[in-house]
Amino acid sequence: MHDIVPFPTGRRLQDAFDGQTRAWAERGPLSVERRGEALEALAAALVRRADEFACAVAQDFGHRSVHETKLADLYPVVAGLRHARKHFRRWMKPRRRPIQMMFRPASARIEYQPLGVVGIISPWNYPVQLALAPLAGALAAGNRILIKPSELTPRTSALLAQVIGEVFDESEAAVVQGGPDVAQAFARLPFNHLFFTGSTAVGREVMKAAAENLVPVTLELGGKSPAIIAPDYPLERAAERIAVGKLFNAGQTCIAPDYVLVPRRREAAFVSAFRDAVARLYPNLAANPDYTAIASERHAERLRRLIDDASARGATLHEINPAGESLDPAGRKIAPVLLTGVPEEASAMQEEIFGPVLPVVSYDRVEEAIRFVKNRPHPLALYVFSHDRGFVNQVLGQTSSGGVAINETLLHCVQEELPFGGVGHSGMGAYHGEAGFRTFSHARSVFHQARINGAGMTSPPYGSRMERMLSFLLR
Ligand code: NAD
């Protein structure tokens, strides 16, 4: 393990912002060549320093699987940066638009302009991915970028600051470290766009602060993402994919399945299939390098309270600890827990769980499962397990969510060609691939009048010609 000393903060937020604002005013957007070069340089730096990042994240979390850091924090960013480098010149191209007959022979097009200086606020759960994946789109679009990563992962934030400092001039992109006070001051700055990933509660505060300066926001929030298993789908397969999605990063994933809807007569079989799946995936927990710890004592305590609350309200707990180990609370590893018979008032059915706890809710008819989902705020992700096209279409047609994966969990999020974002309480706006480029660009409409044109036909003085024209247009 490399030892990483937290990087001193040093930089004052206002200085960094003023520097970038000045650079934007004087030098404008990053050149196309510089964007391509920086996208590749950052990807290469991440590849080169992957072990250092894995080590920093592990130290911040107490324990984080090195493989999960490389797979979920580094790979998606490197892939996103390289995808953007390959395609951004095409994304930048103006798009010619058709023009109505009466305005011909003028022409119309959309040009994509960078917005200016943009801010990115990121959370702790995927501290590299969620700071840098938005940067790919923002950089490809030519903006100058300020990032405020989470204070709960200080070593990773310090390493991010170092790497960004090596690849970019501070007037192009910079990292500002600090706690909630810095975060609040950050959200109050008059950015040209503010991109926030985090909780719904803080998202609301960010939007309020941004409204003061009419700063447009993208909010990537959380929520309770359901998984629905249809009567036809093999339970072992569903249980395994849900266990993989739920226990990756110990459930600290914004799109982790939050609860599962199972046909009533299959509930007991699901509990047993899930137990078997966990035992296969994680034969032991305490010393298992693949099983990640809860990142902070506050969150570990919140999860313990969530489990106790469900139990006190009459839910049945099914703890899954395949090797029967005793888990030292100081290590902050929490064994997976299934909850059955959870009353709706329990915190586990009210709050986003964000840990290895999975309520199982039974349903009799698909309409009931759909109603259950629809009675709650729109989730960030929705998972359907069925080979029955009618079932899948009914669920997709009658619900809403940021994204969907069918017969799988999590993987819709790493498709560069699919926009990623929430809807309603799970957020607004989207990114990844071209969607990220568009989020950080202004689509500017350009109408170009022809040298010889008929515009005079619609100018005063209005008379009988106009009358004839209007009776044609309004026929
Ligand atoms: P959080 O909302 O507590 O913090 C996120 C960031 O906001 C941190 O950098 C923090 O410093 C900053 N912040 C705190 N108070 C602020 C304020 N008043 N103004 C501006 N910024 C402020 O979230 P968290 O606990 O770090 O992350 C977990 C949450 O994030 C979960 O709800 C999860 O679902 C959500 N999340 C969403 C996505 C997504 O892509 N939609 C991804 C990961 C996490």
| Residue ID of nearest Cα to ligand 1 atom 32 | 199
pLDDT at 246 > cutoff 70: yes
Region of poorest pLDDT, from 74-83, 221-230, 429-438, 459-468: 459-468
CATH architecture of 225-421: 3-Layer(aba) Sandwich (3.40)
pLDDT at 203 > cutoff 50: yes
How do strand 217-220 and strand 193-197 relate by DSSP bridges?
parallel
Rounded average pLDDT over 276-287: 97
Given the CA of residue 254, which atom of ligand 1 is nearest to it? 34
pLDDT at 466 > cutoff 70: yes
Contact status, residue 29 vs residue 112, Cβ threshold 8 Å = no
Pocket test for ligand 1, best of 189, 195, 197 (most atoms within 8 A of CB): 197
Please name which of 271, 250, 247 lies closest in space to residue 260, comparing C-alpha atoms.
Answer: 271
| Residue ID of nearest Cα to ligand 1 atom 9 | 150
* Catalytic annotation present for 413: no
CATH 3.40.309.10 location in the chain? 225-421
| Fold classified for 10-221+427-444 | Aldehyde Dehydrogenase; Chain A, domain 1 (3.40.605)
| Tens digits of residue pLDDT in 31-43 | 999 999 999 999 9
Rounded average pLDDT over 413-421: 96
Q: What is the mean pLDDT of the chain?
A: 95
From the list 55, 68, 172, 254, the catalytic residue is: 254
Rounded average pLDDT over 102-126: 97
Cα separation of the two ends of the chain: 77
Rounded average pLDDT over 329-336: 92
Of the chain, the percentage scoring pLDDT greater than 90 comes to: 95
pTM greater than 0.85 (yes/no): yes
| Tens digits of residue pLDDT in 432-456 | 999 999 999 999 999 999 999 988 8
pLDDT at 7 > cutoff 50: no
pLDDT at 1 > cutoff 60: no
Number of H helices, E strands in the chain: 17, 16
CA of 287 to the centre of ligand 1 (A): 29
Give the pLDDT confidence score for residue 451 in this predicted structure: 95
Please name which of 134, 98, 319 lies closest in space to residue 217, comparing C-alpha atoms.
Answer: 134
Please, what sign has the CA dihedral across residues 6, 431, 169, 444?
negative
Omega of the bond leading into 105 within 30 degrees of 0 (cis): yes
CA of 122 to the centre of ligand 1 (A): 6
Binding pocket residue ranges, ligand 1, CB within 6 Å: 121-125, 130, 148, 150-151, 180, 183-184, 187, 197-199, 202, 205-206, 220-222, 254, 352, 354, 380, 422, 427
* Catalytic annotation present for 37: no
Given the CA of residue 202, which atom of ligand 1 is nearest to it? 2
Contact status, residue 401 vs residue 381, Cβ threshold 8 Å = yes
| Tens digits of residue pLDDT in 53-93 | 999 999 999 999 999 999 999 999 999 999 999 999 999 99
| Tens digits of residue pLDDT in 345-375 | 999 999 999 999 999 999 999 999 999 999 9
pLDDT at 467 > cutoff 60: yes
What is the Cα–Cα distance from 148 to 151, expressed in whole angstroms?
9
Rounded average pLDDT over 90-116: 96
Give the pLDDT confidence score for residue 11 in this predicted structure: 55
From the list 68, 172, 220, 434, the catalytic residue is: 220
| Tens digits of residue pLDDT in 178-196 | 999 999 999 999 999 999 9
CATH 3.40.605.10 location in the chain? 10-221+427-444
DSSP letter for 314, please.
T
pLDDT at 119 > cutoff 80: yes
Given the CA of residue 179, which atom of ligand 1 is nearest to it? 11
CA of 150 to the centre of ligand 1 (A): 8
5 pLDDT band, cuts 50/70/90, is very low
Rounded average pLDDT over 396-413: 98
